[in-house]
Every structure is written in structure tokens, then in C-alpha cells.
Structure 1
Amino acid sequence: MLPAIETRFRVRYAETDQMGVVYYSNYLVWMEVGRVEWCKQNGCSYREMEQEDGILLAVAECQCRYLAPARFDDEILVKTWVERAHARLVTFAYAIELAGAERKLATGSTRHIILDREFRRTRLPRKYFPMFGLRG
């Protein structure tokens, strides 16, 4: 499997709730940001997979464990890696941290089934096997 990648950004004011902390669903958005960047840094964009190859990575399951709150203007570090991969299923894992403090804010995972343009289950094309640590 390929190593984890890191994505950094600052918490935007719009991402916080009335209590002044990041609203819980934004952590799932941050996981998506990390996942898209993981694909891009490892040689393939989501756009290429979808438009050129007709492959969709549909979220079948997501999990997030909240450990500590993030607040407006905090610098966030999202670490993303592939935890498990098969030709028909890919699981990404995430560690969301407060950058510079090495304090975990959340951990999570997303499981993706591979679909074609008609939303039927299919397999990853072989050209993606190395990217996900699969053998041909």
C-alpha cells in the first residue's frame, strides 16, 4: 500500500456551530478532501476515474470517532491512507489532527464500492491496481 498523505487547511468560520466548535458533519467533508488529494498525489484524480474510465467510488459506509473539538482558524492536518483494498472495495482511513500540536481531533474510515456509470457494481480497472496496492 502507498503511504499516508497529509492535507492542511484552516477551519473556516462557516464550519463552526453555535457552540463555537466545528459542526460534526464537516469532519466527513474533510475526509473527502483528504481522499481526493490522496488519489491526486498517487497519480489519478477522481475526475479522471469518473470521466475517462467510468468508475465511481461510492461511499457505502463511513465512521468517525470524535476525540476533541476544532475551532475557527485552527490549522487542521488530515492524514489519509488506504487501509484495505480489493478489486471491488476500497477502505480509506483518516486521522484528523490539530496541526503543530500533534493532538488527534478525530479518526475515521470510509468504505467505497466500485460502480460503473449505471451504478452497477464492477471492478477497478487493472491500471489502478498498483495505486491501491493490488496485484494483477
Structure 2
Amino acid sequence: MLYVDIPLTVRYAETDRMGIVHHSNYPVWFEVGRTEFIRQNGISYSEVEGQGILLPLLELKCKFISSSTYEDKIIVRTSIKSYTKIRLNFYYEVFKESDMNNPITTGETVHVWTNACLKPINLQKYNEELYNIIVKNSAGETR
């Protein structure tokens, strides 16, 4: 699966005084997309953590193109932009369900594979099965 679409409805608590989605919600939505991407490709994030593998965040980028408001139906599209044996870069697009051609927000997150002590690991050596899931479901580049 090269990307996963997750439908969400904007909740009132996610809006600001101006009635639009507050910028702090997008990283949360990215996390929902990321964990569902992993789950829908064969393994849950809790299973990954149960194997002593963590994926902490190194970078977060977000570009706001247009806004969303209370009760908008949105889609968070998540894909792998690039990967190495040590890092994983996700790409996100957030669309209004009524317009899947024009994202309202785009974003990226960069993560590093670590063990439970937060020491970087070579995922291919540490868990080849999980590494192969990443390779199989990536349209991105390897470095």
C-alpha cells in the first residue's frame, strides 16, 4: 500500500477563536496517519514497540495552504517519502473530502529507528521483516 487515507471530522475543540483548525492539530493528525499506515501494512505500532523498536521524531515540517473548519470532513493521506536502514521520512497531505485534488496542508516527518534505550539501530539487521514492509510500501527514495 503506497499510501493510506484516514478520514477524520474536525472537532470543535480543534478550532481556534477564528473558527479554523488550530495549527497544533496537524502534527496529531500526522501521527494518526503514520500509525494507521504502519497498521494497514501489516503490523501495529504497539507490536513494533513490543519488539523493543522505537521511532522517535527528528523533524516536523508543515505547510498550510488553506484552512479547515468545524465539522469539515477531511482525509489525511500518508505515504513514505524516503527511507534508509536507520531513518524513515513520511509525507502527509490533508484534503477536504469534497476536494481531493487540492491539499489544504502538506507535511513531512523524519524519524530514526532506535532500540528501547534510544540508540540508533540498523532496522534491516534488527528486524528484517519490518524493514521489508517499509521497502514494499515505499514509493520514495532510498539513500
Secondary structure of the structure 1 residue equivalent to 2:106: strand
Select the residue among 62, 65, 70 that pairs with 1:64: 62
For the aligned residues, what is the CA RMSD? 1.4
Question: Could you say which structure has the higher helix fraction?
Answer: 2
| Aligned position for 1:20 | 19
| Aligned position for 1:4 | 3
Could you list the per-position Cα deviations for residues 55-105 of structure 1 after superposition, in whole angstroms to 9, with x for gaps in the alignment? 001000010000001100000101100111111000000010001222311
Q: How many residues align?
A: 133
Structure 2 gaps of 5+ residues are: 137-141
Matched, 1:87 2:89: no
Structure 1 gaps of 5+ residues are: none
**4+ residue runs of structure 1 moved beyond 6 angstroms?**
none
- The percentage of counterpart residues that share the same residue type is 33
TM-score w.r.t. structure 2 length? Answer: 0.89
| Aligned position for 1:131 | 133
Structural mapping, 1:46-65, within 5 Å = 46-51=45-50, 53-65=51-63
Secondary structure of the structure 2 residue equivalent to 1:130: helix
TM-score w.r.t. structure 1 length? Answer: 0.93
